Structure 1
Amino acid sequence: MRYTDIAIIGGGLAGSIAAAMLGRAGVSTVLIDPHETYPADFRVEKLSGRQQVERFLKTGIGESVLRRTTFSAENWIARFGRLLDKSPSQQFNILYDGLVSAIRDEIPDHVERIWAKAVTVTTSAERQRITLSNDETISARLVVLANGLNIGLRHQLGITRRIISTCHSISIGFDLVPTERSTFGFPALTYFSERPSDRIPYITLFPIGTRMRANLFVYRSFDDPWLRELRRAPAETLDAALPRLKRITGAFGIPGEIKIRPVDLYVNEAGGRPGIVLVGDAFSTSCPVAGTGCDKVFTDVERLCNVYIPQWLTSDGMDADKIAAFYGDPVKRSCDEWSAAKAFTFRSVSTSTSPYWTAQRWARFMAWSAQGLLRPLGGAMHLEPNFLGHSSSSSSSSSRSSSSSSSSSLSSSA
């Protein structure tokens, strides 16, 4: 049996950040994951916006990881085939497996890594016991469950899941290549839907290395025939849904595989259980359309590793009261509530035909148009729709992030 203070189950985004942070702090830590080399997975494909980047930097590993991304300093915003604004942005583009690999490189060598699956977990107010697929056993003071959408261990522990919205949105990822020219004419682009009936909030295009990557978001059921048409004839189906997109992008093709991922919004009821804490998607999911998944992961892990674990390890035991303090943390709760509210606001502003939400769509269109006209004159104000559906302004010189809707990143896997 191996003994440790912290056992992290799951070596994706949340688990790897936690291992790096705790290892750097000198905390005895074991990272458990089946994959020594993290496999390709359609999840986070960019980090974007000042707030999200600042949250990542609080983990202490953000600066070195961001150097391995493809940076976009400008994001074009368009709708109805019309370029509205060339907005300064902070977009750091990287495929999910590359992001996890970069974070794992920040984990100190003294952190033990076990490439196996956690089969069973037994928790108590004192020590926790983990049995692995390689027949090893781990004894830990605390288990950090960061295994994302995997539900086996949560079911075994009797942790119930509360569904908030089934198939709330669907994320679609693919590459774009320009036709009859070598490159696209924009650095990065967010193109908003032309009609609420299309149930498409937007498509975002951004470079990763030499590739131009596309993330398309839709509000449809997973068995919608439209998705089958997209797989069968991707370029034609996209052109029919966004017929004026090519006025901005020029002609393009869609080579290679199209990846489709539906997202359920849920929260796991884990607050009263001793010895184990859930972070990232293992605790609750977010909507990729709103681009808040990484914010939730960074906030969860930063608060847990910078604030709570150091406090918990100064006294014996790991009772439910200690764990409840993390779930009740005001910074974490504020981020979770903001993320959940933004998920439903984005869906309403994208698909609802009520007078209020129709007015919201046009208000945003006119705000971005005005911003784009003023920017060359040096008078542009950055108008950022908040999670209540209204807009707050800040000067473009002090805010370098794109609007939350124009720089959303695919939700994180934790």
Structure 2
Amino acid sequence: MADYTDIAIIGGGLAGSITAAMLGRAGIPAILVDPHAISPPDFRIEKISGAGQIGRFRRTGIADKALTQATLTPENWIARFGYVLERAPVPQCGILYDTLVTAVRDEIRGRVTRIVAKAVAITPGEDRQSVVLSNGQTISARLVVLANGLNVGLRHMLGITRKITSPAHSISIGFDLTPAGRAAFPFPAMTYFQERADARVPYITLFPIGERMRANLFAYREVDAPWLRAIRRAPVETLMAALPGLRRITGPYAVRGEVKVRPADLTINTGYRMPGVVLVGDAFCTTCPVTGTGSDKVFTDVERLCNVHIPRWLATDGMGEAKIAAFYADPVKIACDAWSLDKAWNFRSVSIGASPYWQAQRWARFAVSLGRGIQQRLTKTNAPLNVYSSSSSSSSSSSSSSSSSLSSSA
């Protein structure tokens, strides 16, 4: 016998869990299906930052309590060539992905049921959708929200085709950085930009999560590049070779714990317009972690779906393709997707492009950050920034953004 509900949410990661929490608050019956009772560790979003990104999260109504689990840093330094350019008042919330998902799941209330299982088949229809689970259960729902990220099995069964538009568009590397011979680093958080385009390392962002200083390093490399093996085997030496000026600010450092490496493809789907099934987050299309806009897309997708479209769809009979199409045509969603994709390509070009135009773009961004830092020092009464040096402290101005606000300034 089938379990009847209004909404079946397939996937309990960030997108699916926020969807469940929002629907629960709205009093809409839903079932959240995910094979993990407890969210497992995953090297994905580790920071939510900038007023825009935090604002998008807050529009879901879930952010305030969830972010109490995060480490808030109100200031981020921007640096390059071994000098701090600017101190930016950019709020950053450092939080591991599984901690974030768990905090969101704790906000699930109301008429939402969680089932620990995998969805193995979906049969869409004009009125109700049938979902078969790995434990033998069947769910009958008016709408299926497919929020299962990069898992393509169900999409293939539904006739949805994934196209990779840019294989290994970027590589994300995560590890803990610790100061050697000192109690702490001299900065609250920092984004350090590339020194050479041929290093193919656009930036490293350093931010606290609890007592740890977390590092997210990004690279434009092939997945079989020897450099990736080097960053795993000898991370300090490889990092120093790619960003030699970083040590001028951080002082001597060591890499602790596992070095996690995650390639990211840019993908789009075709054939997703169908009755009764809607795709959100990475299940719809992926973006580049270098720009930090992936969480913006998740927050935008689920906020528009739960606050705007689902209440309208449930108000009338049926769940035909014409209804579902309204979500994909939502101007706010379209604008966010386009903005994210544009940044993915632009950031890559401005980071590694060899033409005079892209070289000029890099220097222009450097000049803008430097100018903001100079203006900051002129308008504030505080002393110049102290920058660590092996022999003495040197000063300079600086600014920053986080991996999401980076995309607007880098």
Say yes or no: TM over 0.5.
yes
Structure 1 residues without counterparts, runs of 5 or longer: 380-399, 410-414
2:59 counterpart of 1:71: no
Q: Distance in 2 between matches of 1:216 and 1:64?
A: 29
- Alignment match, 2:212: 211
Q: CA deviation at 1:403?
A: 7.2
- Alignment match, 1:61: 62
- Alignment match, 1:2: 3
Contact 1:187–1:206 (8 Å) recurs in 2: yes
2:272 counterpart of 1:268: no
Q: CA deviation at 1:267?
A: 1.1
Distance 1:356 1:404, change over 3 A: farther
2:222 counterpart of 1:229: no
Q: CA deviation at 1:87?
A: 1.0
- Amino acid paired to 2:401: S
Superposition pairs for residues 333-348 of structure 1, below 5 Å?
Answer: 333-348=334-349
Q: CA deviation at 1:90?
A: 1.1
* Partner SS for 1:256: strand
Q: CA deviation at 1:401?
A: 8.8
Q: Distance in 2 between matches of 1:110 and 1:406?
A: 36
Q: Distance in 1 between matches of 2:402 and 2:157?
A: 41
Q: CA deviation at 1:405?
A: 6.4
- Alignment match, 1:178: 179
Distance 1:11 1:405, change over 3 A: closer
- Amino acid paired to 1:135: G
* Partner SS for 1:149: coil
Q: CA deviation at 1:241?
A: 1.0
Distance 1:406 1:276, change over 3 A: closer
- Alignment match, 2:395: none
2:201 counterpart of 1:200: yes
Q: Distance in 2 between matches of 1:376 and 1:111?
A: 52
Contact 1:77–1:406 (8 Å) recurs in 2: no
Q: CA deviation at 1:370?
A: 1.2
* Partner SS for 2:89: strand
Q: Distance in 2 between matches of 1:403 and 1:104?
A: 25
* Partner SS for 2:100: helix
Moved beyond 3 Å, runs of 4+: 400-409
* Partner SS for 2:257: coil
Q: Deviations over 1:104-134 (max 9, x none)?
A: 0110053100010111111111110111111
- Alignment match, 2:387: none
- Alignment match, 1:330: 331
Q: Deviations over 1:299-340 (max 9, x none)?
A: 000000000000000111110000111001000000000000
2:90 counterpart of 1:89: yes
Q: Distance in 1 between matches of 2:343 and 2:165?
A: 14
- Alignment match, 2:12: 11
Q: CA deviation at 1:256?
A: 1.1
The number of residue pairs the alignment matches comes to 390
Contact 1:176–1:213 (8 Å) recurs in 2: yes
Q: Distance in 1 between matches of 2:278 and 2:400?
A: 32
Q: Distance in 2 between matches of 1:17 and 1:270?
A: 25
Q: Distance in 2 between matches of 1:375 and 1:213?
A: 27
- Alignment match, 1:360: 361
Q: Distance in 1 between matches of 2:280 and 2:66?
A: 21
Deviates more, 1:331-340 or 1:102-111: 102-111
Contact 2:343–2:407 (8 Å) recurs in 1: no
Q: Distance in 2 between matches of 1:37 and 1:239?
A: 37
- Amino acid paired to 2:214: R
Distance 1:6 1:130, change over 3 A: same
Q: CA deviation at 1:377?
A: 2.5
Q: Distance in 1 between matches of 2:407 and 2:152?
A: 27
**Quick one: percent identity of the two aligned structures?**
64
Q: CA deviation at 1:353?
A: 1.4
The TM-score normalised by the length of structure 1 is 0.92
- Amino acid paired to 2:152: I
Structure 2 residues without counterparts, runs of 5 or longer: 381-398
Q: Distance in 2 between matches of 1:271 and 1:245?
A: 45
